[in-house]
Amino acid sequence: MSHRPRKRFGQNFLHDQSVIERILDAVDPRPEEHLVEIGPGQGALTKGLLQRCGEIDAIELDRDLLEPLADRCAAYGTLNLHNADALKFDFRSLQTDQRSLRLVGNLPYNISTPLLFHLLSQGKVICNMHFMLQKEVVDRMAASPGSRTYGRLSVMLQARCEVIPLFDIGPESFNPPPRVDSSVVRLLPLENPPVSTNDLEGFGELVSLAFGQRRKTLRNNLKKRINQHKIIDLGIDPSCRPETVALQQFVQLFHATKE
């Protein structure tokens, strides 16, 4: 398939067969499951997914890739292609039976964070997710309180999912090679998340405010939402920095602002 990668779509096509097989083994797709691939590109993963489960849906923004991709994969199973922007796509529309969706994809670096938040908002129809992302992003997603990489993304993802980094991938596995390392991560939506879908927007606003100025204390960053006496009543030190505040403490702070 001859196609020049387009920078505006953030295209870096995976070509390393050993990496492809490793990802397929991690996903372990089964015939009875509903697989959805985001950004199939030239079909590096698509062919293997079809061989293992027989039918998948795929969301691809670049219309020039659609026909070659369909031709390449026709012999391996049923590929339902959707020419759409994943950032705007309603993934809930794909759930036509009782099966939850399993999402897979090599996410463009330039939209990975907003796309993750978009998927979180539709998490009720998602069983699990396996994504290739910039390693730095995965490090932030999985970071613990007190670490340099812990921040808004860590809190928001961990409030809805178990984040499991799987393995790293070097730039040489892609065409063109990106300037950064990549990682594969598994996201497992929590059965009983500490923050409901209806509260995600409000919780996100609080977390964004808390991390708005990392050098400032929690008391200063949240002074417009909650006073320091309430923070103390929750057993949280108002003079601490936001990167030391655990997820459950952010949840406590959020609920306190609603009282």
Strand arrangement of the beta sheet that strand 78-83 belongs to? 78-83, 55-60, 34-38, 101-106, 126-134, 182-189, 161-169
Residue 237 lies in a domain: yes
Domain with 105, as residue range(s), is 7-189
- Residues 44 and 166 grouped into a single domain: yes
Taking only the tens place, the pLDDT of each residue in 55-107 is 999 999 999 899 999 999 999 999 999 999 999 999 999 999 999 999 999 88
Residue 221 lies in a domain: yes
User: How far apart (Å, rounded) are the C-alpha atoms in residues 87 and 201?
Assistant: 17
Pick from 141, 177, 147: which is nearest to 159 by CA? 141
Alpha-carbon distance values, 63 to 46, 81, 226 (Å): 16, 10, 49
Length of the chain: 259
Please give the structure tokens belonging to residue 124.
């009720």
More confident residue, 29 or 42: 29
Q: What is the pTM of this model?
A: 0.91
Q: What is the pLDDT of residue 14?
A: 87
Query: Which class for 59: exposed (0-12), middle (13-18), buried (19 or more C-beta within 10 A)?
Result: buried
Domain count, the chain: 2
* pLDDT band, residue 11 (cuts 50/70/90): low
Residue 1 lies in a domain: no
Give the DSSP H or E segment for 35: strand 34-38
Domain edge (last residue) among 189, 210, 233? 189
Q: What is the pLDDT of residue 231?
A: 96
CATH number of the CATH domain containing 232: 1.10.8.100
Please state, as a whole number, how many other Cβ atoms lie within 10 Å of the Cβ of residue 167.
12
- Residues 113 and 239 grouped into a single domain: no
Mean pLDDT throughout 171-189? 92
Give me the chain's average pLDDT, please. 92
Residue 2 lies in a domain: no
Taking only the tens place, the pLDDT of each residue in 118-173 is 998 888 899 999 999 999 999 999 999 999 999 999 999 999 999 999 999 999 99
User: How far apart (Å, rounded) are the C-alpha atoms in residues 126 and 259?
Assistant: 31
- Residues 168 and 234 grouped into a single domain: no
